[in-house]
C-alpha cells in the first residue's frame, strides 16, 4: 500500500470514529468506544510488551478522577514571569500532601516513586522562557526524590529539543549532581517501530522513556492551535515519540489518546503535576499572543491525566470567554481526544465524576 493511501485511510478512519461519537448519540458513541478499545487490545496482543512494572512490593498511589489545586496569590517574582522559589516549593508540598494524605513532601513523593525506580521527568518548554515548565517547581521534586532514596543517576529530566529545554531554564549545571538532563530531538529510540492502532501510522518512543520504570509529567495549561488544548496527555505523547508531526490529523483526536494508551506510557506515568502559574487562552502552543496569557497562581496534581485535561480545557474556555473569544468548540478545534482517552479507560472525563479540591495557602 502506498503511503498516501495509508494517510487517506487514517483520515477516513478518524473522521468516521469521531463522527459516530459526535453525531449518532450515546448508544452509538458507546459502541464506537467499545470497538476502539477492542482494536487497541487486539493490537497490543500482537506486539512485544514494553510495559514497565513497579519494583517488587511497591504499589504506586492512584486516585482516578481526583485533582488537587493549590492557589497562592502573588506567587510570581517581581518580573511576573517565574514563581518565587519558596512559593513554588510550598505549593508543590501542599498539592502533593493534599493528594496523598502524607505529612511532608518526601513522604508524598514516596507514594509515587520507589528508591529502585529509574525515573524520567518530562517537562515542557515549547513556549520558551515566558511560559515553560518552571524550574522552581521541578527542582524541589527532584530533591525530594533523592531524599526518598532514588539514586540521582537514575533520574533523567527530558525535553524534545534544546531550545524547548532552555525554555524551562533547567540544565545540567543547576540540577542535583548526578541527575541527567537530556533532549531526544525526535530520535534516540531503541525499540522497534510500533503501529498505533486506528491511525495507520507507526512510531517509536524515545529510549529515555522505554528505559525508565517510572515517568513523572510536568505539564502546562495552554491553548493549542491544532489540538485545541494541550496539557497532561499530549506532553507525554507528542513529547516522547520520534514523529509527532504524523499524529496531528483531525486536531490529533483521537491520536493523542491512542498513543497514550500504549503500554509504553500508561504503565509508566504515575503522576501529573500541572504548572499553572500562568494560563494561555489563545496563541498556543508557542508564545504568539501574550495578550491572552493570564496569571493563574496555581499548581495542580493528579494521577489521572484525563481528569486533569478535562479541568484544563474548562479553564482555557473560561479564560477565552473572559477575553471575548469563541470557545474551542465554537472555533472548530475541541480537544476531543480527552473523551477518547476516557473511552480507552485512561481516566475520568465526565466533570460530574471529577473531584477538584481547591486549597488556598
Distance CA 102, CA 94 (A): 10
What does the block give as the cell for 227?
489540538
Using CA atoms of 276, 140, 205, 274 in order, give the dihedral in degrees to the nearest 10: -10
- Pair 145, 113: CB distance under 8 Å: yes
∠ Cα 207 342 312 (to 5°): 80
- DSSP code for 282: S
Task: Kindly indicate the confidence band of residue 210, based on its pLDDT and cuts at 50, 70 and 90.
Answer: very high
The region, left, alpha or beta by phi > 0 then psi within -120 to 50, assigned to residue 130 is alpha
What pLDDT is stored for residue 355 in this prediction? 98
Give the pLDDT of residue 47: 74
Q: Greatest CA span in the chain, whole angstroms?
A: 59
256 is written with which cell numbers? 493523542
CA 14/CA 6 separation, integer angstroms: 12
Split at pLDDT 50, 70, 90, the class of 8 is very low
Residue 10 has pLDDT above 90, yes or no: no
Residue 292 neighbours by CB distance under 10 Å: 19
Q: What's residue 48's pLDDT?
A: 87
Find the angle CA(254)-CA(67)-CA(267) to the nearest 5 degrees: 55
Which of 5-9, 116-120, 153-157, 342-346 shows the lowest mean pLDDT across its residues? 5-9
Quick one: pLDDT at residue 35?
57
Stretch among 29-38, 248-257, 287-296 having the lowest mean pLDDT? 29-38
CB atoms within 10 A of CB 43: 17
Residue 81 backbone phi and psi in degrees, to 5: -115, -50
pLDDT-derived band at 255, boundaries 50, 70, 90: very high
Which pLDDT score is estimated for 37?
A: 62
How do residues 304-336 score in pLDDT, each as one tens digit? 999 999 999 999 999 999 999 999 999 999 999
Angle, vertex CA 303, rays to CA 234 and CA 346, nearest 5: 60
Domain 51-360 classification at class level = alpha beta
> Stretch 145-159: mean pLDDT, rounded?
98
- Three-state secondary structure string covering 131-174: CCCCHHHHHHHHHHHHHCCCCHHHEEEEECCHHHHHHHCCCCCC
pLDDT of 18 reads 45
Summarize the confidence of residues 28-48 as an average pLDDT.
60
CB neighbours (10 Å) of residue 98? 18
Report, as an integer, the average pLDDT of 107-132.
Answer: 97
pLDDT of 91 above 60: yes
Residue 13's pLDDT is 41
The pLDDT of residue 43 is 59
C-alpha cell recorded at residue 138: 521541578
Return the number of other C-beta atoms located less than 10 Å from residue 15's C-beta: 12
Question: What is the structure's pLDDT at 53?
Answer: 96
Q: What pLDDT digit, counting tens, does each position of 11-31 carry?
A: 344 444 444 444 444 444 555
What is the residue-averaged pLDDT of the chain?
A: 91
Place of cell 508557542: 286
Provide the pLDDT confidence category of residue 136 given band limits of 50, 70 and 90: very high
Q: Give dist(CA 220, CA 171) in Å, integer.
A: 19
Q: Which residues 6+ apart lie within 8 Å of 176 measured at CB?
A: 142, 143, 146, 152
Task: Please identify which residue in the block is written with the cell numbers 477492542.
Answer: 38
Each residue's pLDDT tens digit, 68-77: 999 999 999 9
Q: Which pLDDT score, from 0 to 100, does residue 34 have?
A: 60
Answer yes or no: are the C-beta atoms of 113 and 245 closer than 8 Å.
no
Position 184 scores a pLDDT of: 98
CA 336 to CA 215: how far, in whole Å?
A: 24
pLDDT for res 85: 98
Q: What is the pLDDT of residue 92?
A: 98
The model's pLDDT over 180-209, given as tens digits with 9 standing for 90+, comes to 999 999 999 999 999 999 899 999 999 999
Tell me, what's the pLDDT at 12? 42
Look up residue 345 and give its three cell numbers. Answer: 479507560
Map grid coordinates 496531528 to a residue.
Answer: 248
Q: Which of 147, 91, 89, 146 is nearest to 119 (CA)?
A: 146
Amino acid at each position: 500500500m502506498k503511503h498516501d493511501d495509508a494517510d487517506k485511510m487514517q483520515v477516513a478512519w478518524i473522521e468516521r470514529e469521531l463522527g459516530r461519537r459526535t453525531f449518532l448519540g450515546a448508544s452509538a458513541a458507546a459502541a464506537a468506544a467499545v470497538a476502539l478499545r477492542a482494536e487497541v487490545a487486539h493490537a497490543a496482543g500482537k506486539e512485544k510488551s514494553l510495559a514497565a512494572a513497579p519494583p517488587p512490593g511497591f504499589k504506586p498511589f492512584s486516585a482516578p478522577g481526583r485533582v488537587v489545586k493549590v492557589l497562592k496569590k502573588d506567587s510570581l517574582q517581581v518580573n511576573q514571569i517565574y514563581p518565587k522559589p519558596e512559593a513554588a516549593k510550598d505549593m508543590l508540598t501542599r498539592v502533593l500532601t493534599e493528594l496523598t494524605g502524607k505529612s511532608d513532601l518526601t513522604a508524598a513523593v514516596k507514594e509515587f516513586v520507589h528508591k529502585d525506580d529509574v525515573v524520567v521527568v518530562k517537562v515542557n518548554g515549547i513556549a520558551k522562557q515566558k511560559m515553560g515548565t518552571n524550574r522552581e517547581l521541578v527542582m524541589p521534586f527532584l530533591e525530594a526524590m533523592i531524599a526518598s532514596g532514588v539514586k540521582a543517576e537514575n533520574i533523567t529530566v527530558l525535553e524534545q529539543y534544546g531550545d524547548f529545554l532552555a525554555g524551562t531554564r533547567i540544565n545540567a549545571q543547576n540540577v542535583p549532581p548526578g541527575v541527567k538532563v537530556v533532549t531526544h530531538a525526535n530520535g534516540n529510540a531503541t525499540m522497534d517501530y510500533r503501529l498505533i492502532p486506528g491511525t495507520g501510522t507507526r512510531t517509536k518512543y524515545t529510549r529515555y522513556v522505554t528505559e525508565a520504570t517510572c515517568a513523572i509529567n510536568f505539564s502546562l495549561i495552554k491553548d493549542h492551535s491544532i489540538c485545541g488544548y494541550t496539557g497532561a496527555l499530549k506532553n507525554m505523547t507528542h513529547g516522547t515519540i520520534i514523529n509527532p508531526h504524523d499524529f496531528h490529523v483531525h486536531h490529533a483526536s483521537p491520536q493523542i489518546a491512542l498513543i497514550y494508551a500504549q503500554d509504553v506510557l500508561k504503565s509508566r506515568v504515575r503522576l501529573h503535576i500541572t504548572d499553572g502559574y500562568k494560563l494561555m487562552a489563545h496563541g498556543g502552543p508557542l508564545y504568539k499572543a501574550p495578550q491572552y496569557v493570564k496569571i493563574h497562581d496555581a499548581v495542580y496534581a493528579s494521577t489521572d491525566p484525563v481528569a486533569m485535561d478535562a479541568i484544563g480545557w474548562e479553564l482555557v474556555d473560561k479564560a477565552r470567554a473572559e477575553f471575548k473569544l469563541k470557545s474551542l468548540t465554537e472555533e472548530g478545534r475541541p480537544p476531543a481526544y480527552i473523551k477518547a482517552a476516557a473511552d480507552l479507560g485512561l481516566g475520568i472525563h465526565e466533570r460530574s465524576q471529577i473531584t477538584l479540591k481547591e486549597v488556598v495557602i
